[in-house]
């Protein structure tokens, strides 16, 4: 039987999965109905973003398993790369 991660990766080819990555920075902002979370992962220059309905504990210093895909976002008229997280688990 395949794990949930393997099923996601098989079904959605652009998804990427990373295990046991260290969170260097975690910022959480109130975005109306959703809390927008931004993670910076050790050894990676690109931010990882996800949304939650409720506030989440600070993940700075934690090891996490991430399932995500690359995405582009316009910031001040400049196209920036970011990773959109679809699954996050503390390792």
- Tell me: the pLDDT tens digits for 9-29? 667 678 888 899 999 999 999
**Beta bridge partners of residue 26, listed in sequence order:** 39
- Tell me: the pLDDT tens digits for 45-81? 999 999 999 988 899 999 999 999 988 888 899 999 9
- Consecutive H or E run containing 55: none
Beta carbons within 10 angstroms of residue 50's beta carbon: 19
- Tell me the mean pLDDT in the region 24-45: 94
- Please state, in angstroms and as integers, the Cα–Cα distance from residue 2 to each residue in 7, 9, 12, following that order: 6, 11, 15
Sequence-distant contacts of 17-21: CB under 8 A, at least 24 apart: 17/65, 17/66, 17/67, 18/65, 18/66, 18/68, 19/65, 19/91, 20/63, 20/64, 20/65, 20/91, 21/63, 21/64, 21/65, 21/66
Which CATH number describes the domain made up of 4-90?
Answer: 2.40.50
Give the per-residue pLDDT at 16.
Answer: 87
- Consecutive H or E run containing 42: none
Res. 1: pLDDT tops 80: no
């Amino acid at each position: 039987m395949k794990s949930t991660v393997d099923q996601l990766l098989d079904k959605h080819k652009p998804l990427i999965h990373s295990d046991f990555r260290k969170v260097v920075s975690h910022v959480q902002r109130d975005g109306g109905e959703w809390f927008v979370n931004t993670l910076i992962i050790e050894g990676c220059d690109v931010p990882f973003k996800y949304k939650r309905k409720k506030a989440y504990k600070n993940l700075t210093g934690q090891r996490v398993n991430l399932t995500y895909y690359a995405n582009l976002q316009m910031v001040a008229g400049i196209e920036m790369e970011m990773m959109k997280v679809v699954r996050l688990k503390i390792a």
